[in-house]
A and B are shown apart, each in its own frame.
Chain A
Amino acid sequence: MLRWLCVCCVLAIVSPAFAQEHEDRQYVRPGVLAGGLAVVPGFVVHGAGAFTIGDRRAARRLLITEAIGLGALIGGGTLLAVTGTSRRMIGVVAPITIAGFGLFMLSWLADIYAATTGGRDAHAPGFSPRYDAELGYAYVHDPQFRYGSFATLHADLRAHDLRLSPDAWIALDDDNQRFTLELAYRPFGRTPRRAAPDGSYAELATAFRHHRFGSDDFAVITPMWWIQARLDLARVAPTLAGAFVEGQLGAGLELYDFDVRGSKLGDNAFGLLLSRFGFGAYFGDGGARSGELFAYYDHRHDDFAAGLGVQGIGSGILGHVGARGHYFITRNWGVSGLVELGSALVTSLAVRYRGGM
């Protein structure tokens, strides 16, 4: 790991001079071969793919991002090990470590994208609907619980810079219900009353969730707070056009309501780290027929997917991975889907309607 960091730092320093010498020289056309080079040796030297297709600026920026990510990952990991994951430092060190891992992975994925596509003419929708609702079905396979089938309902209601998002998952074959109400403030990015050049945004959000496990005699109440941002990568380099990255960082407090005599809610409060990062791509020209696909890692262990099951000594640490996407077939109607893999498998499919554009 340390060796990689050194290599990346050296390359980040020398690459501008090298780039000037070989300005815009394309060794390989964007495609499978360039994408393969972005995988190997690109996993070690991020930007290798962009470099081979002649985008030196993207290559340099991806390499620098990798170096920052590796630095945070190694620094944070070292602090975790040295302090024995001290309770007094974990609130700072864990997010830094996860963010470092996120930067490392996202710069690698972006390089693969650049090398494979050379940039795409795809954009976020050029409007922000005032309301956006979806009704769907979800299947959850969790060997620890009886539930499987869920009806899902989600809505985004936007006014000014605010978004209100109610969300419900109701089991059809078990006594299990989850309700969430989320309120977000968007100081940056497109809203119904503010235009923006692309899909980039930043949000401050809070949410309140009540998840009732009726068959298992407990419920969980979770207030949460987080910041969330998306960056359209066309801002970074033209070969990354059509892609975006997204990150989320925050915390929650889980209050467990056990059906046990003598149990007090205040005694059963446990903090929760919220951290998610992912890479996505737009589909369509930003008009009526458009959509996006987003693949991510989510560190939270409390939702339906929870943490990944791992064989070996590292059990319990990782959160889950997932992918979600949607596509609007008409200006108003679309479909959306979700797959998440953790200790449970979550899949969902929904019909979506938006309006007030």
Chain B
Amino acid sequence: MRALLLVLFLPGCFLPAEKRARLDRSVGEAEAGGITLEVAEGRAGIRSFDGLRAELWAQAPSLSISVRSDAPRPLVLDVLNCMPGTLLRVDAEAPRAPTPVAGRAASCHFELAVSDSQLELAPAAADTEYAFAVLSDVQDAIGRVQDIYRRMNADPELQFVVSTGDLVETGTRSQLVHFQDELAGLNIPLFSTVGNHEMGAPPSHWHSLFGPFNVNFVHRGVTFSLVDSGNATIDPSMYGRLDDWLDAAEDGTHIVLTHVPPLDPAGLRGGAFRSRKEAAKLVQKLGRGRVDALFLGHIHSYYSFSVADVPTYISGGGGAIQERFDGIERHYLKVRASARGIEDVAIVRVD
């Protein structure tokens, strides 16, 4: 019965995010010239690798990279979207500081000699309480995004930016490259999942330029889970990963970000998941998992509310066409967090 129905009624309708979930399984793996790279948990996309030089796009502050080689050899490692103050430790050697990649503020360039090596990139130790920014829904306002970056650069407390997506208008390769070029003006990295405005082009573009669609990392006792809801749904296979992330972060601070609000506080509008049943299933999981904050985008305004006892924030202030009559223009959120929880969420107005 099920097989017949699936054949008859286009499985793509039911699992629009399946291909992206599948692509995530191969993020951070590359082999060339007898040398293999593997980024743990797919936390960085390998944009190019020829056996001598590798270029990565980091989607987390810390990376763990396994290198497998049949003989010692030189390796040039460029990590774009890299945290300032990042140090690299190769096996048991002393940590080394990077030089920047030309034209990229948040980047790390290393020249190494590797064989079977374990590379650990991590920011230098600092205070456990820190601040990060949440910025989403830039879309067609990319031409004005430097205003936002300048404001962020002027705030020394911000360590990185996280985004729920809608960085560009439709997700074409040229748009994504343009966005990454504009990021050269931001002194800190921006880690992002995809929004619905990245769904207008094949997922291979994001996969090859940014790496993962879904990513989870821990930074100074705070867990971040960025979950792909670009099609107003989460792929069923992702719920298993999300369960693991929720379990692992049960006793710590856990921040979840996804683009489309599971439920729209202006319910008649329905700027939310395509299925409210699925939305409720997700929210129940987040509530049960004692998530400390849920950050969403998609709606170009600012909302703060609670659902299933999870503090929830919608912030779509990157400049895409704004919701009117709400007094909210371009903005981002500044969040102070630590292993003890969320200390503060403040709206930073850019206009």
- List residues of chain A with CB under 8 Å of any chain B CB: 81-91, 94, 139, 141-145, 148, 213, 216-218, 220, 251, 253-254, 256, 258-264, 267-268, 270-273, 299, 301-302, 304, 306-318, 341-345, 347
The listed residue (A85, A217, A307) touching B269 by CB distance below 8 A is A85
The 8 Å CB contact of B236, one of A144, A309, A313, is A144
Taking the complex as formed, is B294 at the interface, i.e. its CB lies under 8 A from any CB of chain A?
no
Structural contact, B266 and A84, CB atoms closer than 8 A: no
The answer to the question of B96 belonging to the interface, with a C-beta cut-off of 8 Å to chain A, is: no
Find residues 294-329 in chain B having any chain A CB closer than 8 Å to their own CB. 299-301, 305-309, 321-326
Residue of B nearest to A95 (CB): B268
| A267, B274: Cβ atoms closer than 8 Å | no
Could you give 18 example pairs across A and B, Cβ below 8 Å?
A: A84-B300, A87-B301, A94-B269, A141-B2, A144-B277, A148-B2, A218-B280, A256-B308, A299-B270, A301-B274, A302-B277, A306-B277, A309-B274, A312-B199, A315-B199, A316-B196, A341-B13, A343-B14
Partner of A81, one of B230, B260, B280, B321: B321
Distance between Cα atoms of A60 and B274 in the complex (Å):
38
In the complex, B333 has a CB within 8 A of chain A: no
Closest to B9 in A: A345
- A83 and B284 within 8 A (CB): no
- How many residues in B have their beta carbons less than 8 Å from beta carbons of A? 58
Residue of A nearest to B272 (CB): A316
B196 touching A314 by the CB < 8 A rule?
yes
B103 sits at the interface (CB 8 A): no
The yes or no answer to B233 lying at the interface (CB within 8 A) is yes
Which 5 residue pairs spanning A and B have beta carbons closest together? A316-B232, A271-B267, A260-B287, A307-B274, A306-B275
Distance between B98 CB and nearest chain A CB, rounded to angstroms: 37
Decide if B280 touches A256 in the complex (CB within 8 Å): yes
Number of A-B contacts (CB under 8 A): 203
Q: Which residues of A contact B13 (CB under 8 A)?
A: 308-309, 341, 343
Q: Is B200 an interface residue (CB 8 A)?
A: yes
Q: How far is B13's CA from A312's CA once the two chains are assembled, in angstroms?
A: 11
Are A258 and B277 within 8 A (Cβ)? no
Give B319 Cβ to nearest chain A Cβ, in Å: 12
Q: What's the Cα separation between A267 and B13 when bound, in Å?
A: 32
> Which residues from B are CB-within-8-Å of A344?
14, 275
Query: Do residues A271 and B230 form an inter-chain contact, with CB atoms below 8 A?
Result: no
- Is the CB of B40 closer than 8 A to any CB of chain A? no
Q: Are B323 and A85 in contact (CB under 8 A)?
A: yes
For window 250-281 of chain B, which residues contact chain A by CB distance below 8 Å?
260, 263-278, 280-281
Closest chain-A Cβ to B259's Cβ sits at a distance in Å of: 10
Q: In the complex, are the beta carbons of A213 and B281 less than 8 A apart?
A: yes
B248 within 8 Å of A (CB atoms): no
**Contact in complex: A315, B274 (CB < 8 Å):** yes
Q: Is the CB of B281 within 8 A of A218?
A: yes
Contact of B271 among A267, A316, A343 (CB under 8 A): A316
A309-B12 in contact (CB<8A): yes
Query: A residues within 8 A CB of B197?
Result: 313
Decide if A317 touches B200 in the complex (CB within 8 Å).
no
User: Whole-angstrom distance from the CB of A83 to the nearest CB of chain B?
Assistant: 5
Taking the closest CB of chain A, its distance from the CB of B105, in whole angstroms, is 30
